[in-house]
């Protein structure tokens, strides 16, 4: 491999000749061999740095054009566009497990954009610190990258996926109106509901989760940029914070604002905890929905068997013909991972000391993983399972009319205690509710038929 010599304030460093990064990135690359190739800084953060560095250059150009010239802005903007597109991903090698402020990832972005910008300009035009990092600090850029990555993840990944699943449940509701089945509480028989009512519960849960995420978004859209090292804004020109927030909004198409208190923005991660709490709520609901579906599809002969789901692949290497609810299982495993991520984010967010939180890389690593897993799991679950759900109406009917909890309809006519006696007799002697009720003398056969209508209990 060929190398070139780069230098920083600590001296010279050998850097691979074909890479745009420079000395500080290389030092981190060499000093933190933890999770290399597996747990690199999320590409969502790489993209976010492209956004914020371009926005910073635009803001600086407007506020101090003598330092951020037209020529510099043009070179930086083109390099940042390439970062945002993912074209330069190979030049961002650093792992999550580095400095807790994300300083080295900030410098990775500064060095790559500077060297690529110089290549675009055809001369030594840009300096990583003086130009790309102008009016900034790692301490306000990394929190800003977190905000941008989180907002884009929720709005551009989670929302489309959740909307797709909601739409499928809405279709299934309409298709199953009037299909009456037994309800279940405590995994025991309960009074009847319609299948569409059951589906509406799933659909409504997802809609509620979406609203909770919407509530979290305004706080995530407050940017730390402009606070520089400790929140005072040292070395940033007046108005930089509002100008850079406006530029980020223009680039992303989302409405970001500057954080009103930069001291809070640098040290507290409460907004990311709150937002991930909404992702955890979504994970909890998806766990419930996936479990309901696999329980209802259990069988095919010895389980509940009230619905049928698509058969996607063989389910056993030894039992021929076995098919398993694999999409449901994938969703539930994702839910478990997201719940674990939530614990990690909460603990990390509690570690702000004085003017900075230094657990930021692990926070965004877990957050972006949750966003990706939930989004992709919902799409897979929808496309490979939920769209193909069909009601086994015959099984639903049989289970409904075999349920002892239908006796609840008799409460107004024979009272709770007599209804309980009816259930116990029917269960013990394996006879119908009607037979038990008539045998106990609570109602005549004719009167029982007059008042007992399971389909009207919904």
Please give the model's pTM, rounded to 2 decimal places.
0.96
Q: Is 79 left (phi over 0), alpha (psi -120 to 50) or beta?
A: alpha
The secondary structure of residue 452, as a DSSP letter, is -
pLDDT for the residue 346: 98
Rounded (5°) CA angle 431-437-443:
150
Q: Are strands 356-357 and 352-353 parallel, antiparallel or unpaired?
A: antiparallel
- Asked if the model's pLDDT at residue 25 lies above 90, the reply is yes
Q: Would you state the torsion angle of the CA atoms of residues 102, 106, 107, 108, taken in this order, to the nearest 10 degrees?
A: 100
Nearest to 401 by CA among 346, 332, 452: 452
Tens digits of residue pLDDT in 304-341: 999 999 999 999 999 999 999 999 999 999 999 999 99
Average of per-residue pLDDT across 211-223:
98
- What is the C-alpha to C-alpha distance for residues 415 and 417, in angstroms, rounded to an integer? 6
Nearest to 256 by CA among 225, 211, 214: 225
Structural domain boundaries in the chain = 3-134, 150-172+193-218+267-394, 403-456
pLDDT for the residue 344: 98
Average of per-residue pLDDT across 175-200:
97
Mean model confidence pLDDT for the chain: 97
Task: Give just the sign of the alpha carbon dihedral 368, 256, 241, 219.
Answer: negative
pLDDT for the residue 1: 87
Tens digits of residue pLDDT in 100-130: 999 999 999 999 999 999 999 999 999 999 9
pLDDT for the residue 70: 98
Tens digits of residue pLDDT in 378-435: 999 999 999 999 999 999 999 999 999 999 999 999 999 999 999 999 999 999 999 9
- What is the C-alpha to C-alpha distance for residues 298 and 275, in angstroms, rounded to an integer? 35
Residue 357 has, within 13 A of its CA and on its CB side, a CA count of 30
User: Which two structure tokens, joined as six digits, stand for 44?
Assistant: 């969502």
Average of per-residue pLDDT across 3-18:
94
User: Which two structure tokens, joined as six digits, stand for 400?
Assistant: 């409904």
Average of per-residue pLDDT across 22-42:
94
Q: Which residue numbers are catalytic?
A: 186, 316
As its CATH architecture, domain 403-456 has Orthogonal Bundle (1.10)
Task: Check if CATH label 1.10.287.1770 holds for domain 150-172+193-218+267-394.
Answer: no
Average of per-residue pLDDT across 30-54:
96
The secondary structure of residue 129, as a DSSP letter, is I
Strands (E), 102-213: 180-185, 188-194
From the number of C-beta atoms within 10 Å of its C-beta (0-12, 13-18, 19+), residue 185 rates as exposed
The CATH number given to 3-134 is 1.10.275.10
Nearest to 191 by CA among 390, 392, 421, 423: 423
Tens digits of residue pLDDT in 231-286: 999 999 999 999 999 999 999 999 999 999 999 999 999 999 999 999 999 999 99
- Asked if the model's pLDDT at residue 37 lies above 90, the reply is no
Share above pLDDT 70 across residues of the chain, in percent, rounded to a whole number = 100
Q: What is the DSSP string of 261-313?
A: -HHHHHH--HHHHHHHHHHHHHHHHHHHHHHHHHHHT--SSSS---EE----S
Average of per-residue pLDDT across 438-456:
95
């Amino acid at each position: 491999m060929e190398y070139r010599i780069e230098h920083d304030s600590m001296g010279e460093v050998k850097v691979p000749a074909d890479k745009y990064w420079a000395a500080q990135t290389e030092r981190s690359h060499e000093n933190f061999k933890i999770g290399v190739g597996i747990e690199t800084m999320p590409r969502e953060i790489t993209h976010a740095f492209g956004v914020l560095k371009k926005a910073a250059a635009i803001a600086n150009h407007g506020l101090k054009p003598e330092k951020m010239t037209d020529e510099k802005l043009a070179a930086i903007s083109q390099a940042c566009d390439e970062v945002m597109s993912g074209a330069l991903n190979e030049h961002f090698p650093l792992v999550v497990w580095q400095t807790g402020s994300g300083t080295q990832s900030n410098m990775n972005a500064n060095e790559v954009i500077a060297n690529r910008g110089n290549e675009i300009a055809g001369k030594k035009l840009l300096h990583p610190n003086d130009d790309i990092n102008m009016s900034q600090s790692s301490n306000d850029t990394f929190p800003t990258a977190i905000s941008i990555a989180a907002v884009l993840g929720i709005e551009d990944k989670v929302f489309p996926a959740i909307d797709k699943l909601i739409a499928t449940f809405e279709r299934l509701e309409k298709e199953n109106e009037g299909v009456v089945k037994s309800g279940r509480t405590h995994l025991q028989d309960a009074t009847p509901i319609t299948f569409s009512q059951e589906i509406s519960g799933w659909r409504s849960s997802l809609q509620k989760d979406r609203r909770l995420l919407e509530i979290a978004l305004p706080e995530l859209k407050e940017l730390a940029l402009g606070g520089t090292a400790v929140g005072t804004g040292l070395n940033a020109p007046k108005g930089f914070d509002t100008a850079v927030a406006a530029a980020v909004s223009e680039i992303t198409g989302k409405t970001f604002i500057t954080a009103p208190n930069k001291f809070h923005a640098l040290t507290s991660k409460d907004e990311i905890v709150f937002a991930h709490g909404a992702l955890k709520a979504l994970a909890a609901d998806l766990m419930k929905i996936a479990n309901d579906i696999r329980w209802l599809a259990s069988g095919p002969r010895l389980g509940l068997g009230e619905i049928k789901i698509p058969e996607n692949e063989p389910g056993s290497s030894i039992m021929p013909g076995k098919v398993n609810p694999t999409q449901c299982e994938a969703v539930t495993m994702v839910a478990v991972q997201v719940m674990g991520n939530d614990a990690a984010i909460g603990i990390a967010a509690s570690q702000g000391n004085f003017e900075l939180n230094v657990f930021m890389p692990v926070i965004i690593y877990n957050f972006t993983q949750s966003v990706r897993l939930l989004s992709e799991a919902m799409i897979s679950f929808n496309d490979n399972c939920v769209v193909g759900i069909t009601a086994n109406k015959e099984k639903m009917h049989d289970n409904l009319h075999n349920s002892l909890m239908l006796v609840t309809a008799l409460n107004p006519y024979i009272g709770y205690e007599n209804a309980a006696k009816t259930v116990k007799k029917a269960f013990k002697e394996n006879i119908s509710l009607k037979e038990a009720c008539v045998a106990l003398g609570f109602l005549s056969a004719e009167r029982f038929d007059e008042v007992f209508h399971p389909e009207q209990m919904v």
